[in-house]
């Protein structure tokens, strides 16, 4: 008990800073319509100088890691088994295939460009699955390094920016291609990176498109668990060639995601509690991203270079073309 109180005392200043920045980001998002995640990152970067104060460092690190993992676990409450079966097997298979092919495409392009496989996995996973949340979840199981911190922050900024652009452009593309409501909903839900931008783009066309695109997006969110587990296994195998250990290195927050997904599927929790917990996930992820911004300098982001930007643009274009191909061939 004494240790717990001491840890709370040490972490409290940094957590308060991260939460305050998250609240400010949420206010700016509601007031001006800007993505909350992007606002959280930018505010965090502006307060990077506070990392010189040793009082806030432990809490910032705690917010960027532990609060992130709790937030990812709570995302399990946003989907159910019924959601996965409602559309039928073909759209579900198409969405899952699109996620896997986008990650593979990202790794391949990263190798061709002379970038490391972690950046290809990180950017491909964030584009293919669920934007900033996926980037941070994947980053948590990749080999830790200062370079990874830079690449993670870059990926979060890049995927949020591209998602915002897609929110504006993709409804216009749907209209130009004369997609019906069903095809437009699948296209938007299968291609835009962040959930909030999917909602914005879908409902800007119609309520039916908004409902379907949000549902398809949550199918991609469900891919987070198997993808991160596979990456964790792969990284472990690289670190320990020939290992015969049988224990699966599954992070606890992914087990939490699966457990909450099952609980939500069988309706064991009151609907109001599920709503509160889902909202709490958004707040925890926003707080974690604000903390990530605080602990990283703009100089570190600039050091990533031009090639990663091209990589993310290529991945985004690849996913959009892939989704349109599935729609045409279906």
DSSP characters for 289-326? HHHHHHTS-HHHHHTT-SHHHHHHHHHHHHHHHHHHHH
**Range 81-86 contact pairs with CB under 8 angstroms and sequence separation of 24 or more:** 81/265, 82/265, 83/215, 83/218, 83/219, 84/219, 84/222, 86/215
Q: State residue 86 phi and psi, 5-degree precision.
A: -65, -40
Residue percentage of the chain with pLDDT more than 90: 17
Domain count within the chain: 1
The encoded tokens of residue 29 equal: 């998002």
Distance CA 141, CA 139 (A): 5
Q: Is the dihedral of CA 4, 9, 14, 17 positive or negative?
A: positive
Q: What is the mean pLDDT of residues 313-324?
A: 92
pLDDT in tens, 256-301: 877 888 888 888 888 888 888 888 888 888 888 888 778 777 776 6
Torsion angle, CA of 307/312/316/317, rounded to 10 degrees? Answer: 0
Q: What would the mean pLDDT of 301-323 be, rounded to a whole number?
A: 85
Determine the Cα–Cα distance for residues 136 and 40; give it in Å rounded to an integer: 14
| Calpha distance 146→150 (Å, rounded) | 7
pLDDT for 6-15, tens place per residue? 788 888 999 9
Tokens 């989907």: give the residue: 79
CA 18/CA 170 separation, integer angstroms: 33
| Lookup: tokens for 192 | 């835009």
pLDDT at residue 243 greater than cutoff 60: no
Q: How confident is the model at residue 208 (pLDDT cuts 50, 70, 90)?
A: confident
Which tokens hold the place of 30? 């509601």
- Can you give the residue range of the structural domain that contains 30? 2-329
Rounded Cα–Cα distance for residues 197 and 122 (Å)? 20
Q: Is 314 exposed, middle or buried (0-12, 13-18, 19+ CB in 10 A)?
A: middle
Tell me how far CA of residue 167 lies from CA of 14, 40, 199, 257, in angstroms. 33, 19, 9, 27
219 touches 198 (CB < 8 A): no
Report the C-alpha gap between 131 and 107 in whole angstroms: 17
Residue 146 pLDDT level (bands cut at 50, 70, 90): confident
Output the average pLDDT for the chain: 82
The pLDDT value given to residue 329? 80
| Rg, the chain, Cα only | 19
What is the three-class DSSP state of 180? coil
Question: H or E stretch including 78?
Answer: none
Phi and psi based region of residue 116 (left: phi greater than 0; alpha: psi -120 to 50; beta: remaining) = beta
Output the pLDDT for position 301.
63
Confidence of residue 313 (pLDDT cuts 50, 70, 90): very high
Highest averaged pLDDT of the listed ranges 23-32, 34-43, 301-310: 23-32
- pLDDT, one tens digit per residue, over 104-121 is 999 999 999 888 888 899
């Amino acid at each position: 008990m004494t240790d717990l109180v001491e840890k709370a005392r040490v972490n409290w200043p940094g957590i308060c800073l991260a939460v305050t920045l998250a609240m400010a980001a949420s206010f700016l998002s509601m007031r001006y319509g800007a993505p909350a995640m992007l606002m959280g990152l930018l505010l965090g970067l502006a307060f990077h100088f506070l990392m010189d104060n040793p009082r806030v460092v432990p809490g910032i690190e705690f917010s960027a890691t532990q609060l992130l993992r709790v937030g990812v676990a709570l995302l399990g409450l946003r989907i159910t088994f019924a959601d996965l079966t409602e559309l039928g097997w073909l759209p579900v298979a198409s969405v899952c295939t699109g996620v896997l092919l986008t990650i593979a495409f990202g790794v391949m392009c990263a190798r061709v460009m002379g970038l490391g496989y972690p950046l290809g996995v990180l950017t491909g996973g964030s584009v293919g699955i669920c934007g900033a949340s996926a980037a941070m979840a994947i980053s948590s199981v990749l080999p830790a390094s200062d370079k990874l911190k830079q690449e993670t922050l870059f990926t979060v900024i890049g995927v949020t920016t591209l998602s915002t652009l897609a929110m504006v452009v993709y409804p216009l593309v749907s209209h130009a291609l004369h997609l019906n409501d069903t095809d437009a909903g699948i296209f938007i839900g299968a291609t835009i990176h962040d959930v909030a931008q999917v909602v914005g783009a879908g409902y800007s066309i119609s309520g039916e498109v908004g409902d379907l695109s949000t549902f398809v997006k949550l199918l991609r969110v469900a891919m987070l668990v198997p993808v991160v587990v596979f990456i964790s296994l792969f990284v472990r195998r690289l670190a320990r060639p020939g290992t015969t250990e049988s224990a699966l290195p599954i992070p606890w927050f992914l087990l939490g995601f699966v457990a909450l997904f099952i609980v939500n599927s069988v309706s064991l929790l009151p609907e109001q509690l599920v709503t509160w917990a889902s909202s709490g996930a958004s707040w925890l992820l926003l707080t974690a991203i604000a903390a990530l911004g605080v602990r990283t300098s703009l100089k570190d982001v600039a050091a990533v270079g031009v090639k990663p930007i091209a990589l993310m643009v290529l991945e985004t274009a690849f996913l959009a073309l892939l989704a349109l191909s599935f729609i045409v061939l279906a």
